[in-house]
Amino acid sequence: MGNEISYPLKPFMIEANKDTFWETSLRIINRMSAKMLQLNADPHFFTEVFQDLKNQRESEANLDPARCAHNPPHFTAPVCKIGQEVKSHAET
């Protein structure tokens, strides 16, 4: 098993960036572990986060990809996230 206890790492890590991968992973774990534990322990918090995720999905599904400043012209699926710059209709 080695490194691949819960999810295979090979698609995400190459030898050249192994240290960067683990440093980034540990930063995310350190920053988010308290919230992950709270998700498991607090039903109200879980409901809030779940609703936020549903709202995010719905807002992205309704986003016009042509208006997203971060989409290349040939891209058909929206990649804009809430808070990113969106082009005005005049720019599209």
pLDDT given at position 28: 92
Using DSSP, state whether 68 is helix, strand or coil: strand
pLDDT given at position 70: 52
Phi and psi for 86 in degrees, rounded to 5?
Answer: -120, 135
Question: Using one digit for the tens of pLDDT, what is the confidence trace for 31-81?
Answer: 999 999 999 999 999 999 999 999 988 887 776 665 555 544 444 444 444
Question: Using one digit for the tens of pLDDT, what is the confidence trace for 2-39?
Answer: 554 566 666 667 777 888 888 988 999 999 999 999 99
Q: How many CB atoms lie within 10 A of CB 68?
A: 21
> Which has more confidence, 91 or 51?
51
